[in-house]
Amino acid sequence: MTPTPLPEQRPLPPQMPPPPRARRRQSGMNPWMIRLPILVFSGGILLVIVLGIFVAALQMRYVDKIVPGVWSLGVNLSGMSLDEAEAALQDRFTYDTEAVFTFRDGDRFWQMTAADLGVSFDERATAEQAFAAGHQGDVMGNLVSQATIWFGGRSIAPVVRYDQNYAVSQLTAIAEEVNRPVEDATLVVDGLAVRTTPSRSGRTLDIGATLAQLQTIIVQMNTGAEIPLVVNETPPLVWEAEAAAAKVRAAISGTLTLVADDGSGGQLGPWTASVEQIASLLTVQLVDNGDGTRSYDVSVNMEALSTFLESLAPGLITTPQDGRFNYDDATGQLQVVQPSRSGRTLNVEQTLARLEEGVFATSATNRTIPLAFDYTLPRYHESITAAELGITELVSEATTYYAGSTQARRENIALAASRFDGVIIGPGEEFSYNYWLGDVSPEAGFVEGFIIQGGRTVPGVGGGVCQVSTTAFQAAFYAGFPVLERYPHGYRVGYYEAGEGAGMDAAIFTPDFDFRFLNDTPYHLLIETSMYPGENAVQFRFYSTNPGRRVRREGPEITAITPHGPTIYEANPEIPPGQYLQVDWAADGADITNIRIIEDLNGNELRRDTFFSHYEPWQEIIQVSPSDPILQSQNSGG
């Protein structure tokens, strides 16, 4: 854009001189223009002088006094000296006596003033702080401070002292009432007396923590407050003893009785422990609970009880008793003639557990403890069958005769034979006559008869049992069972030769002489016995399964015959004159051999057994009255 040229300037016409009057005004001066600055300057100097004089006078006036405008606790301390200010403030502070603090512990409390706790007012220090207002620093600083105080005023906070030693002393006194040691529960058993004491937690006043709460309140100048005491509690190690005491009281609340049956419905025992005995077996001790606490444990001296039961156990053992059976030829089944009975032994451990439980039972019913047993089942129970045992037929039988026997001998034969009726001998097992016969004594039911002992026929208990052993031997002979032990009698006896002939007897004398044989078949053997009083006979029958053999006998072969001696007469004071009693019968001595030949069913010989018997010659013995003349004739050799 092309600038627009300014219009050409033309020179102004020459100025006309001002009129003369106007020139006079420009050249004249107002005299106040000179005077006013002088006056102002002079006034300022004068003001400074006056102010200086005033300040100097003020400083001189309050050089040792509190400046105006200073207050404390509602008291105007202006113009007062330190002593005057201290005196003025002396009765104005009431916090130390009016502020009441309550220390509480549950339902108990303790009250005391702030002064009791070490709070005090320092009047002098407060006066000194009031004096220090406006008197610190340089002159100008003091002047400014004093001016500020004069126009605005200043309140001086009271100087309060807190001596914590007072509070510590007060709390220490309270602690004597609050503190208590920890007390464990106790249990004391003295004979039959049981005593307990309860537990109690220990308490300790925490003075430091309580002081911290107090200090916060005092700093805030609260006029009154309730301060909960800080109390540390120490729990007991043993919290209670009543549960254990209850067990002790239960244990000695009554006698403890052990009972048992004999396995046949009869009762054994009882064995009773008195409360004094039970108390002597109790053990009370402290045990760790695993959580830092302890408790009372009440136990029974099981070792003493175990010792007692171990001494009791042998008399309580019952061996298992197999059932006894007869074979029914018509049905091929077994008929029970004597039920089986389980054997048992005392289970000491289980009985001890029952005893331990019963000791602490409170019911009288539960303090009667049945003994615990372990039972052994019999092999041959009532439900077993003949087919299971392999009993299918009669494999052998034997009959012997006892005609002429006394009544005592007959009774012994019948009793001995009954001991074998229904007995089962398993495959591979041995038959022992003495085992199954049992005790031969009056207590077992045997009566006195005549027995062969020491080379004589003498009175003795059990006369006749060899009749039964002889019958058993003959049945085993013809069944083909291997004979493991057999003894002939000392001399030939007529009872045993009737039927099978000489050399087929078996003498026994418990426990030295036995008759034993082996069931060498894979089948069970059932033994049956029968008495036939009308025929004066006793019979053994063996039921099993024939393993495929038959038996025949060769003999008897009699050799080395030795004639018997003359009759011997013996004096017996119990025999009246003219009467006699024959106690032995004459028999020639001899060696007798019987051969058993075992064949298979086709007649092939399987085994040959030899049974040798040696018999001494035996004289007839007759007892007569001591006055009988025959005794004199015998003694004289006539």
Mean pLDDT score of the chain, rounded to an integer? Answer: 88
Single-letter amino acid code for the residue at 41: F
| Average pLDDT of span 487-510 | 91
In the chain the domains, ranked by start, together with CATH numbers, are 57-180+202-233 (no CATH), 242-376 (3.10.20.800), 386-635 (no CATH)
> Kind and range of the H or E element at 354?
helix 348-359
Q: Report long-range pairs for 83-92 (Cβ below 8 Å, ≥24 apart).
A: 83/127, 85/123, 85/126, 85/127, 85/130, 85/131, 86/123, 86/124, 86/126, 86/127, 87/123, 89/121, 89/123, 89/126, 89/127, 89/158, 90/123
The token pair that represents 499 in the structure block: 């039927």
What confidence tens digit (pLDDT) does each residue in 460-495 have?
677 899 999 999 999 999 999 999 999 999 888 888
Of 260-264, 292-296, 383-387, 509-513, where does mean pLDDT reach its minimum?
260-264
pLDDT at 5 over 50: no
The token pair that represents 162 in the structure block: 């807190």
Per-residue pLDDT at 286? 94
Residue that has been written with the tokens 């399964």 in this structure: 545
Say how far apart CA 324 and CA 378 lie, in whole Å: 11
Across-strand partners of 516? Answer: 432, 485
Pick the closest to residue 437 from 467, 404, 458 (CA basis): 467
pLDDT at 27 over 70: no
pLDDT at 11 over 50: no
Per-residue pLDDT at 17? 53
Give first-to-last CA distance, the chain, whole Å.
208
Say how far apart CA 452 and CA 505 lie, in whole Å: 14
Single-letter amino acid code for the residue at 490: G
Neighbour-count burial for 85-113, b at 16+ CB within 10 Å, e otherwise: bbebbeeebebbeebebebebeeeebebe
What confidence tens digit (pLDDT) does each residue in 45-91 have?
888 676 667 666 666 677 788 989 899 988 998 889 889 888 988 88
Say how far apart CA 196 and CA 583 lie, in whole Å: 84
Per-residue pLDDT at 309? 92
What confidence tens digit (pLDDT) does each residue in 330-360 have?
999 999 999 999 899 999 999 999 998 999 9
Which of the four pLDDT bands, split at 50, 70 and 90, describes residue 388? very high
Per-residue pLDDT at 58? 65
Say how far apart CA 352 and CA 62 lie, in whole Å: 105
In the chain, what percentage of residues exceed pLDDT 90?
59
Per-residue pLDDT at 458? 57
CB 127 within 8 A of CB 60: no
Per-residue pLDDT at 285? 92
Which of the four pLDDT bands, split at 50, 70 and 90, describes residue 10? very low
What's the per-residue H, E or C state across 144-189?
HHHHHHHHHCEECCCCEEECHHHHHHHHHHHHHHHCECCECCEEEE
pLDDT at 396 over 60: yes
Per-residue pLDDT at 451? 60
| Average pLDDT of span 301-308 | 91
Beta strands across the sheet bearing 393-401? 393-401, 537-544, 525-532, 423-425
Residue that has been written with the tokens 């308490």 in this structure: 203
Higher-scoring residue by pLDDT: 416, 153: 416
Q: Would you give the distance in Å from CA 224 to the centre of its chain?
A: 60
Of 56-60, 82-86, 103-107, 417-421, where does mean pLDDT reach its minimum?
56-60
The token pair that represents 24 in the structure block: 């006079």
> Kind and range of the H or E element at 453?
strand 448-453
Across-strand partners of 206? Answer: none
Per-residue pLDDT at 42? 78
pLDDT at 1 over 50: no
How many residues are recorded in the chain?
A: 638
Which of the four pLDDT bands, split at 50, 70 and 90, describes residue 7? very low
> Kind and range of the H or E element at 124?
helix 123-132
Phi, psi (degrees; rounded to nearest 5) at 286? -90, 135
* DSSP characters over 393-409: EEEEEEEEE-TT--HHH
